[in-house]
Amino acid sequence: AMNTNMFENFAVQENIERLVLRGYSIVQPVEGELACGGCGGGRLAPLDVIFAEAKSLLSPQTELKGIRLLVTAGPTREAIDPVRYLTNYSSGKMGYAVAQAAVEQGAGVTLVSGPVTLPAPAGVKIVQVTTAQEMYAAVLSLYPQMDVVVKAAAVADYRPARVQETKIKKDGEMILSLVRTPDILAELGKYKQNQVLVGFASETDNLRENALAKLFPKNLEMIVANDLTEDGAGFNTDTNVVKLYFKDGQEKQLARMSKLAVAREIISEIKRIMNIAKEIS
């Protein structure tokens, strides 16, 4: 941790890159208030993040070694004009926690992330995207190399039909015409080979019915359904309350717990699904 100007200095960044190439693990500093009174990047990472990283380095789990896992996180942003966009309340916390839980188990993790302010978990390869179309292109191009895909992102279902090149001026009522974005998960389901596909669903009503209506048509092994009527569940919370629905008809309710604990449960179910597939083949 250090002052932003020092941290962003070319020499410091080059030295950090050199250390990574030599096999050192780096816990990146975060954005926030600094000792000098300013605000910016370079602030010491939260102690629980440093602790979790040190712990996993001292007792690495290797159960997912050799497994390539892709996770998507955060919202997408769909431009209306140069200063406005459509989006949702996703903070990225759930998807980043899944990436963290997978890397803890030794998986090779790629995180395709919409615009959020979270630091990437140590050891995770990050691909930054903004729009649903960019997320679609990134995920589809990486898909053939992946063993597991977890789609925790809250992808915009619609985008403005036309992005105005100049700032729209206010002038009475305005009607915005929207068109559908590609359904990334449905596409993954269509072209699935041996991948384990996990989706998320955020629902305000008919949790089971709505979750199952995504599980089967999208050809998923499991769907993680957030019940948005529960306190501490869903968007931009540190905890979550989810029910897991499986292709084989099983269901599993999880209690309210931190998003990292939920993520660890999800990874443990993915391991179970992969072991069953191995036994069958």
Residues annotated catalytic, as ranges? 36
CA dist 199 → 19, 114, 126, 227 (Å): 36, 16, 19, 14
Q: Are the C-beta atoms of 122 and 56 separated by less than 8 Å?
A: no
Q: Are the C-beta atoms of 152 and 202 separated by less than 8 Å?
A: no
Indicate the residue among 34 and 132 with the shorter CB distance to ligand PMT.
132
Q: Which of 90, 98, 86 is nearest to 74 (CA)?
A: 90
Indicate the residue among 41 and 114 with the shorter CB distance to ligand PMT.
114
Cα 198-131-133 angle, rounded to 5 deg: 70
CA distance 244 to 264: 13
Alpha carbon of residue 154 to chain centroid: 9
Q: Scanning the structure block, which residue is given the tokens 């926690």?
A: 97
CA distance 255 to 6: 44
CA distance 108 to 125: 8
Indicate the residue among 7 and 240 with the shorter CB distance to ligand PMT.
240
- Could you list the residues that contact ligand PMT (CB under 6 A)? 74, 90-94, 132, 151-155, 157, 181, 183-185, 199-202, 214, 226, 234-236
Q: How far is the CB of 19 from ligand PMT (least distance, A)?
A: 30
Indicate the residue among 41 and 95 with the shorter CB distance to ligand PMT.
95
Q: How far is the CB of 140 from ligand PMT (least distance, A)?
A: 11
